[in-house]
Every structure is written in structure tokens, then in C-alpha cells.
Amino acid sequence: MLAKLLNNKDTMLVIVFSLVVLAAPLLLAPLGAGYPDLMQRFAIFGIFAIGFNILFGLTGYLSFGHAAFLGVGSYSAVWMFKLLSVNIVPAILLSVLISGLFALVIGYVSLKRSGIYFSILTLAFAQMSFNLAYSVLTPITNGETGLQLALDDPRVLDGASTEGVLPSPQLFGLEMNDTAQVPFLGMELQFNVGFYICALILIAAFFISLRIFRSSFGMMLRAVKSNQTRLNYTGINTKPYTLAAFVISGMYAGLAGGLMASMDPLAGAERMQWTASGEVVLMTIMGGAGSLLGPVLGAAIIKYFENIFSRINDNVIEAWFTFLPDWLGDILVTLISPFVGKGWHLSLGLIFMLVVIFLPGGLVEGAQRVSRWTVRSVKRLQHSEPGSSKSLEPGETH
């Protein structure tokens, strides 16, 4: 089936991507990131960034308000848990639908303008959503605290659960927070139901985005990026295409929001703030806007910093260096501690700068350069003619 839809290189790409994603508990455990919450976040923000990339990477329209769709998706999902059932299927469907509608309205208005005027319009809509959700709309959003499940929720379909205990989101009886622990080489691998649901959806989302990239629709979007005026002169109305891309990426964001609420049934207003919108922009640019794998990579790196670096306190660093003499350990601790723990933002800012200064085009392009260089060096070693073959990394789209 896959073979019919994709060429060989893309089939390989999807297969390798799927394998890596599915093996995440094993691959991430040595990095200290192999626990359910973070793996779920990798997958969810991967979906979010993939969706954002369909808009930004293909059309060049830089939306600064995409977090609003994620937030709307989360609120829809939690309301579904509260009113209907804790099964995640209706919740996720509703969150995709509602955020799609929301994106349709905002996209229709914002796409009347282009360039920075478009960016500011989307930013304005998102900031309005955030401000309202945080205070005025508290009856719907539960404001500062965030919308969460309560014991007296109606839950029409499965209201009769155990007295005094909140149910947790599930897929036909499979609870999202069920985890199997498997000891492996001295590590405890955690295979979590929620993560695998996110992972399967991530793979599907990746596949769909690949299809969009390769389709004539995707071609049209790229044409918009390279020269919209020329397209307009040839008599093509680009608005339906850009609007479609906007709505699709809004639905991706809604899907991510719905999944986020399914993994952890709380929807907070902060996930709609401009900093959250900025975060997905950074993920995409850092990974490589317009490439297929870049956004997922960018999402993983930013979330890794936020969740792992912020947890390294002086105590932990000292424990790393206990084998060294005291004075040397102290020096190292003093040198490292500004960059981790409470200083994790500093490292993140430095990484942004380094990536964009030295790897224009993002991490994916960096990886391509490295692989090209390796291939070339290997060739040189074999005394063959240099530059005879062009090797492209999977995900290359240019």
C-alpha cells in the first residue's frame, strides 16, 4: 500500500521514522528522557510543529498565533471529558473540529494581509484568546488554574464511576497512564499506553504531511512562497490554497491540543500565550523550516531543554564530579551551574543563536552538511572522483 503512494526514498523515510518513534522508550532512556510525560510531549509537540510547518514551511506565511488553536483544542477535549465520556476518541475528534473552525475564521480574516501584517493579525487574535481565557472567560476555561475534571462532572456516557475517584482518560478501557516497566541493561524502560497512542498519531501526521509536501497542492503552496504576485498575475487565486493550508495546520495544532489534554486532563490558558506561539516558530526554524523532519527534531530539542536541563540543580552537578578533588569539582560546579537548573533559559537562548548563526536552514541542513562531508571524505579515501554523486539526506525537499 505504502509503495503505491510513495516513491522508494519516501517509503524508507516513513519506515525509519516509524521505527525510531516506536523505539523511543529504548532510545531515550539513556538520555534520561525515557519517561512517559516527556515522550508524550515529544510526540505531541512534534505533531504541532509538523502542522505549523505545513503553513510556514510551504507558504512562508509566519503565523504568530498558532498556540491559540492548540489551546482551543485542549479546552474542547477537556469539556468532552467532562460532559460526555473520558474516552479520548470523541474528545480528539471534537478538538480537531473546533480548532479547524476557529482556524477557518481567523485564517479567513488574517489572510487578507501578508508578511508581517499577517503575523501581527494572528498574534493579535491569539493574545485576545489568551487574555480572555485567563480572566473573562473563566466560567468556560477556569482561568488561571486551568480547566480540569471534577467529581461532579455529568459525563453522560460513563458517569457512574467509582465514588470519590476521578477517572483517567482512556481508549476503550486502555488507560492513558498505564505503563509497563521492563528492566533492560540496568535501565528501567517505560512502555506507556498514552505515549504509543501519541506515537501512532505522530506517524500518521508525519505521513499525511509527507503526502501534502509531495502533492500538487503542496507544489502550489511552495509557489505561493516563491512568488505570490506572479501567481496572481497568471490568474490563479491563491487565497483558497493558503486558507486550506492555514486550516490544516490549525487542525494539527488542535489535534496536538486534544492529545495533550488526553495525556494530562488539564487545559491551562498559558498554552495560548504568545510565548507558546513563539515556541513552535522556534522549533520549526531551529529544526529546519520546510524540511519534513526538522520540526520534529526542533520540538524534541526544545522540550528536552525545558524538562531535563531545568532539573539539574547544583546538588546533581556536584554528584557528577564527586570523583574529582574538591577544589576542581567546585570550579566545575561554578562554571556549569549558570547554564542548567534555573539558568536553563540561558542555554536555550545560546543554542538558538548558535544554530541560526552556524546552521542557516536549521539542524536538518546541518545534518545534511555533515553527511555530505562524510560521504565526500569517504569517497576521497577510496580515490574516486570527488563530487560525482550527490547524496541527499532523507527529508530533503529543496
Partner 1 sequence: MDAILLQILNGLDKGSAYALIALGLTLIFGTLGVVNFAHGALFMIGAFCTVVVNGLLSLERVTLSETETNPWGEPLEIRVQYAELWFGDFGQLMVDYSVFWSLLFVIPAMLLIGIAMERGLIKHFYKRPHADQILVTFGLAIVLQEIIKQIFGANPIPQPAPDALRGAVDVGAALGLSPGSIIYPIWRLVYFLFAALIIGGVFAFLRFTTFGMVVRAGMADRETVGLLGIDIDKRFTAMFGIAAVVTGLAGAMYTPILSPNYHMGMDFLVLCFVVVVVGGMGSLPGAVAAGFLLGVLQSFASMTQVKALFFGFSIDQVIIYLVAVIILLTRPRGLMGRKGVMET
Partner 2 sequence: MADFKTNRRSFIKGSGAVGAGLAAPTIFTKAHAFTNEPGPGSVVLGFNVPQSGPYADEGADELRAYELAVKHLNGGGDGGMLNTFSSKALDGTGILGRKVDYVTGDTQTKSDAARASARAMIEKDGAIMITGGSSSGVAIAVQSLCQDAGVIFMAGLTHSNDTTGKDKKANGFRHFFNAYMSGAALAPVLAERYGTDRKAYHLTADYTWGWTQEESIMAATEEKGWETVNAVRTPLAETDFSSYIAPVLNSDADVLVLNHYGANMVNSLTNAVQFGLREKMVNGKNFEIVVPLYSRLMARGAGQNVKGIFGSTNWHWSLQDQASQTFVSSFGREYGQPPSQAAHTCYVQTLLYADAVQRAGSFNPCAVAEALEDFEFDGLGNGKTLYRGADHQCFKDVLVVRGKENPESEFDLLEVVQVTPMEQVMYEPDHPMFAGGSLGQCNPGA
Q: From residue 396, give the alpha-carbon distance in Å to each of 60, 199, 289, 373.
A: 17, 23, 11, 16
Residue placing its CB nearer to partner 2 in the complex, 32 or 366: 32
Per-residue HEC secondary structure of the chain comes to CHHHHCCHHHHHHHHHHHHHHHCHHHHHHHHCCCCHHHHHHHHHHHHHHHHHHHHHHHHCCCCCCCHHHHHHHHHHHHHHHHHCCCEHHHHHHHHHHHHHHHHHHHHHHHCCCCHHHHHHHHHHHHHHHHHHHHHHCHHHHCCCCCEECCCCCCCCCCCCCCCCCCCCCEECCEECCCEEEEEECCEEEEEEHHHHHHHHHHHHHHHHHHHHHHCHHHHHHHHHHHHHHHHHHCCCCCHHHHHHHHHHHHHHHHHHHHHHHHHCCEECHHHHCHHHHHHHHHHHHHHCCCCCCHHHHHHHHHHHHHHCHHHCCHHHHHHHCCCCCHHHHHHHHHHHHHHCHHHHHHHHHHHHHHHHHHCCCHHHHHHHHHHHHHHHHHHHHCCCCCCCCCCCCCCCCC
Contacts (CB under 8 A) with partner 1, residues 312-341: 338
C-beta of 217 vs 352, nearer to partner 1:
352
Considering the complex, what minimum distance in angstroms separates the CB of residue 354 from partner 1? 8
Measured from the CB of residue 54, what is the shortest distance to partner 1 in angstroms?
15
**Shortest spacing between CB 109 and partner 1, in angstroms:** 7
Residue 343 lies near partner 1 (rule: CB under 8 A): yes
Whole-number Å distance between alpha carbons of 43 and 30: 18
Residue 268 interacts with which of partner 2, partner 1, none, CB < 5 to 8 Å by class: partner 2
Q: Does 108 bind partner 1 (CB under 8 A)?
A: no
Residues 268-307: x where in contact with partner 1 by CB under 8 A, - otherwise, as a string: ------xx--x--xx--xx--x------------------
- Which span sits near partner 1 by CB under 8 A: 129-137, 250-258, 263-271, 322-330? 129-137
Contact residues toward partner 2 (CB under 8 A) are: 32, 35-38, 41, 131, 134-136, 138, 142-146, 148-151, 163-166, 168, 175, 177-181, 188, 190, 264, 266, 268, 270-271, 306-307, 310-311, 313, 315-316, 318-319, 322, 326, 329-330, 341-342, 344-345
Rank residues 278 and 366 by Cβ distance to partner 1 and give the closer one.
Answer: 278
- Should residue 228 be labelled a site residue for partner 1 when binding is judged by CB under 8 A? yes
Q: Which is nearer to partner 2, 37 or 393 (CB)?
A: 37
Closest CB to partner 2 among residues 181, 232: 181
Q: Applying CB under 8 A, does 351 fall inside the site for partner 1?
A: yes
Question: Among partner 1, partner 2, none, what binds residue 319 when CB lies within 5 to 8 Å by partner kind?
Answer: partner 2
Task: Please identify which residue in 42, 79, 125, 206 interacts with partner 1, judged by CB under 8 A.
Answer: 125
| Residue among 13, 62, 248, 312 that touches partner 1 (CB under 8 A) | 62
Count other Cβ atoms within 10 Å, centred on residue 55. Answer: 28
C-alpha cell of residue 37: 510525560
Out of 15, 16, 83, 113, name the contact with partner 1 by CB under 8 A: 113
> Where does this chain bind partner 1 (CB under 8 A)?
56, 60, 62, 109, 112-117, 120-121, 123-125, 127-128, 131-132, 135-136, 228, 274-275, 278, 281-282, 285-286, 289, 338, 343, 345-346, 348-353, 355-357, 360
